[in-house]
Amino acid sequence: MKKYKSILPVIGCALLFIGCSTFKRKFLTNNKGVYTVTLGQFESKSEDETVTIRGHVYDKKTGRPLQFAVASAGCFKFLTTIEGEYSFRTRNLKSKSFYMELSAFPYHAVETDFIDIYNRKEIIIDFYLDTDERPMFDCIEGGAHDRMQKELNNLK
């Protein structure tokens, strides 16, 4: 029995280490959204090769995937699938010049900080969007916005 008592702390420490090694750091944004970044292993590549960027988009409160969200990377835009997934390839960029933005109606958009993707095989960026509960404007002609604009134009 004494033999097993010395093994238990070792097993406990090992399980703690394994649990901490899979921890993802969540980055908070200025509009209540969150994103996580998991960097793939370094891989020696030439500048002609590509890096795979992929991930999921979720509702922050419910955890459900968001379909048809728009993932933007520079001038390129991609729609998420029904399962909230997106995936694309980009050039092997040398400096911290890569960032993404995710938007979906009626959620706040989330923009990442700059991410160093140089010589990585794969980068996984998961987004968690918070609902935008600001009121929508009625911009239909003859609607409330049109009436308000006419009132403002008549002010002296």
pLDDT in tens, 74-93: 889 999 999 999 999 988 87
Cβ atoms within 10 Å, residue 117: 23
What is the predicted pLDDT for the residue at 71?
Answer: 94
Q: What is the mean pLDDT of residues 103-108?
A: 92
Both tokens of 88, joined, read 């694309």
The half-sphere exposure of 68 on its side-chain side, counting CA atoms within 13 A, is 2
Q: CATH number of the domain at 124, please.
A: 2.60.40.1120
What is the predicted pLDDT for the residue at 87?
Answer: 95
95 part of a folded domain = yes
Whether residue 57 contacts residue 102, with contact meaning beta carbons closer than 8 Å, is answered with yes
Residue 93 dihedral angles phi and psi, to the nearest 5°: -80, 135
Q: What is the mean pLDDT of residues 122-131?
A: 92
Model confidence, pTM = 0.66
34 part of a folded domain = yes
Both tokens of 85, joined, read 């997934």
What is the predicted pLDDT for the residue at 66?
Answer: 95
Tell me the residue range of the domain where 39 lies. Answer: 25-134
Three-state SS for 76?
Answer: strand
> Residue 125: pLDDT above 80?
yes
State the total domains in the chain.
1
| Angle 53-16-120 from CA coordinates, rounded to 5° | 20
49 part of a folded domain = yes
pLDDT tens string 7-62: 444 444 433 333 333 335 556 665 567 888 888 777 766 667 788 999 999 999 99
Q: Which residues does 114 contact at the CB level (< 8 Å), separation at least 6? A: 96, 97, 98, 99
